[in-house]
Structure 1
């Protein structure tokens, strides 16, 4: 039996993510939680003829407790979306408080669940969740993930003409670092099966992977951000975690993790100088079984990208930790 929970299920990411999870044969029970509209979303999805039994909750009548109790995997897309001209960092003040409060609920009602954070800015919200779990005495770094899969999905899609894959997801394109702008580092030198990026296309391709979200915000004329592709990416990573938890071997996905707390993470932490970093990890029944170091042998161009990434990440991580340790006045 696998119980999955979506916190923020009524939003732009939450609804399509909940749809995909409801359709998954790997999930037996799906609980939805949000501050508004959850009963309607739940009723709509309940008509789908798939395995998962579905329930929906609002904050009243212990809704968060009822949603989380017995959870195996909790996915958090809750928060406000990015608006035109707004950076992921601008979202921080609002989304940080939302993630902090939801993490407190997880710590109390489902401390052993795999926690997948989608809420932006991931570079700061994952450290926030970690600090909440530490304070509650339930932090297991192997079970806390920042979902950076959208960066990988974009890299696979944008390089399809060079990889030659009919299904672009069949190409492995490592994307490491963080989940915003320059902290996103696609390692085109490490693609598998190998293919070459033309020198005159390289810089634009890197920028497109790093700032692909801006394309969507602009195309939606300020009416939204990358909700559907993010829901797909969140679902893809959720299924990977579930498949590995059921014993499937060889499941490897990049994700933003607390390096000192996962096997193999110390070497990456020493090389980068940061404690949180997105890197390919091998998943297993207990979460992260091994962080895979792909830093050796990167090109000079990629080293420059990494330097900019680490500089940005340090501030993002500190901001998240500081938010929990010294909360802003209400």
Structure 2
């Protein structure tokens, strides 16, 4: 079995349901929660669940981060704050980027061999931040750093279920590549498996729905929240995939945002796109990202247009993350 560390966050978000899913998983024998408040209480609540995982909750005092991280095989980072009234997106980026930077510095020191799964938005920038921090510490292994883009895949599966005909929507394979925000999200409906057709008159709406599905939830909640339960499910699904592959299960493939030059097969994709960070189907194994699968060949002209817009957006997002890591605000 694999140990698992989970960073929660002090806000009503997907951290609660995600910790519940992780506690219930038979693949996890230890689960440590870390946050600036509330974690001992959350851990006590979850400890009453009759599952395999032993659970602990830590606060910053008394070397809590060190104790939470030491011995972790996998670290899941959904930490961050929501955007507040009067706060610019740049303000939000600086706060969340700073949180991720601090947590990854802890990983570099106390759990350098752990699989690190970054959910904290904006993933297109926070994963490059994490990579730079790990590089600076001399412990960067690109095969063990992942940006979690699974929610985009889950939405694509769900929104096209009427066409795939699958009772369980997840049985259809729908590659979603690129990044994890707006136009950087590119569903490749031409490469679904088993093959099915999207009606021409529905295509653009479905693409937009996958790219901006989060807006639906925000609107349905009247601005009082965003996607939490679906994000928890997606985060758990990817964490479970990494754990299964690490324990020897073969044929585990999931799209995820990785540093392409450090993953076998990634160089070809990096040359084709011109970016070093990109979400693409990854074959997972005991050492993490075993192989980056190139599915760019044979995309349709419309998908190529979507890819062009994606790459333009990614270039700026990646640069912003790297610059933040190298020159953090004082």
Whether these two folds match at TM > 0.5 is yes
Does 2:76 correspond to 1:80? no
Distance 1:89 1:174, change over 3 A: farther
Which residue does the alignment assign to 1:35? 36
Which residue does the alignment assign to 1:99? 100
Deviations 1:66-92 (CA, angstroms, capped at 9, x unpaired):
000000000000001356998976631
Give the Cα separation in 2 of the matches to 1:285 and 1:165. 30
- Maintained 8 Å contact 1:81/1:225: no
Give the Cα separation in 1 of the matches to 2:213 and 2:86. 14
- Maintained 8 Å contact 1:83/1:222: no
- Maintained 8 Å contact 1:84/1:218: no
Which residue does the alignment assign to 1:156? 157
Following TM superposition, by how much is the alpha carbon of 1:134 offset from its aligned partner in structure 2, in angstroms?
A: 0.1
Which residue does the alignment assign to 2:263? 262
Unmatched segments (≥5 aa) in structure 1: none
Which residue does the alignment assign to 1:189? 190
Which residue does the alignment assign to 2:295? 294
Give the Cα separation in 2 of the matches to 1:242 and 1:282. 13
Find the residue that maps to 2:282 and give its secondary structure: strand
RMSD after superposition: 1.4
Give the Cα separation in 2 of the matches to 1:273 and 1:233. 28
- Maintained 8 Å contact 1:6/1:31: yes
Deviates further, 11-20 or 251-260: 11-20
Which residue does the alignment assign to 1:112? 113
- Maintained 8 Å contact 2:260/2:276: yes
Which residue does the alignment assign to 1:22? 23
Which residue does the alignment assign to 1:249? 250
Give the Cα separation in 2 of the matches to 1:98 and 1:257. 20
Unmatched segments (≥5 aa) in structure 2: none
Distance 1:277 1:87, change over 3 A: farther
Deviations 1:123-164 (CA, angstroms, capped at 9, x unpaired):
000000000000000000000000000000000000001100
Does 2:72 correspond to 1:62? no
- Maintained 8 Å contact 2:75/2:115: yes
Which residue does the alignment assign to 1:123? 124
Which residue does the alignment assign to 1:45? 46
- Maintained 8 Å contact 1:84/1:217: no
Deviations 1:155-212 (CA, angstroms, capped at 9, x unpaired):
0000001100000000000000000000000000000001100000000100000000
Give the Cα separation in 1 of the matches to 2:193 and 2:86. 36
Give the Cα separation in 2 of the matches to 1:216 and 1:28. 33
Find the residue that maps to 1:278 and give its secondary structure: strand
The TM-score, its normalising length taken from structure 1, stands at 0.97
Q: How does 1:163-312 map to 2 (within 5 A)?
A: 163-312=164-313
Find the residue that maps to 1:243 and give its secondary structure: helix
Give the Cα separation in 2 of the matches to 1:88 and 1:15. 25
Does 2:6 correspond to 1:6? yes
Give the Cα separation in 2 of the matches to 1:84 and 1:44. 32
Following TM superposition, by how much is the alpha carbon of 1:7 offset from its aligned partner in structure 2, in angstroms?
A: 1.1
Give the Cα separation in 2 of the matches to 1:272 and 1:218. 34
Distance 1:232 1:88, change over 3 A: farther
Q: Give the length in aligned residue pairs.
A: 329
Find the residue that maps to 2:217 and give its secondary structure: helix
- Maintained 8 Å contact 2:9/2:80: no
